[in-house]
Structure 1
């Protein structure tokens, strides 16, 4: 038996969501010296790159991108790694992931940043499933989608044919 996949967002719609999120980020951070985008490995990191590119296109904000590497599928996180060290002092940090489900992954992703004097931490996601089990919510959301716990969201981001499917 094959799994039924329902198209939730097509490439054009995803590009529109990314543009809208980028403008929201710019509007809320127009006075910041620098905004650091920390994308969670996988599609979160790809989304962070797309947001950085769009913000560079629409604004004079100074932006930097880094990767957060962790295991999204384990309940006990062994170690969260950052792609490189930077000076976070007095900067805005935006943690980016493709899908916000329970908040567990984003909670783990914040851990390495707690030792820095960051001005503020915000969260950007493409799809928010709203199954909140951890005290994490998205500051920037591309699409809100009510799903059952047994359903999965599949995000594929690339230059020519990005899609979001519910399966």
Structure 2
């Protein structure tokens, strides 16, 4: 895959700007909470959750806890979903699942089942980019960038130390 300026849809600065705006939206919708759990899907969703947590700590008094979610994205039923750290209880806690791109909704749908029996107060979804091709009943509560694409096009988000960019391929 070739990443060029021509197919870049978000650069480093724009991604950070989207994350900051999402953090404000999250705080506005959850300002009465004492704490939030941000659960990022490895690996880009976790990086985004870390950055959202940093922004939320700067703008709000909320206690922010981070969780990482690892699952096999192409065969989620054949492999265990691992959540770290394993929290003893999420009762009466607002949880926000974080991923880089919402495409079909499959990854988030399988991830949701891990949280449904935890008695969360509220379960929301934050995605950097929403492609609007969902095949599962999943929608993003907080979206950084909404982009209508064809089914043949793909979004690649690169969140490396020296490069934060999103590309349309």
Q: TM-score, normalised by structure 1?
A: 0.94
TM-superposed CA distance for 1:80, in Å, is 1.1
Q: TM-score, normalised by structure 2?
A: 0.93
Query: Cα 1:54–1:159, aligned 2, differ >3 Å: closer, same or farther?
Result: farther
1:48-74, Cα deviation, whole Å (9 max, x unpaired): 000001100111111100001101122
CA distance in 2, matches of 1:123, 1:64: 15
Q: Which runs of 5+ in 1 are unaligned?
A: none
1:17-62, Cα deviation, whole Å (9 max, x unpaired): 0000000000000001210000001100000000001100111111
2:119 matched to which residue of 1? 117
Q: CA RMSD in A?
A: 1.5
Alignment of 1:132-151 (within 5 A): 132-151=134-153
CA distance in 1, matches of 2:113, 2:63: 24
Query: Cα 1:12–1:68, aligned 2, differ >3 Å: closer, same or farther?
Result: same
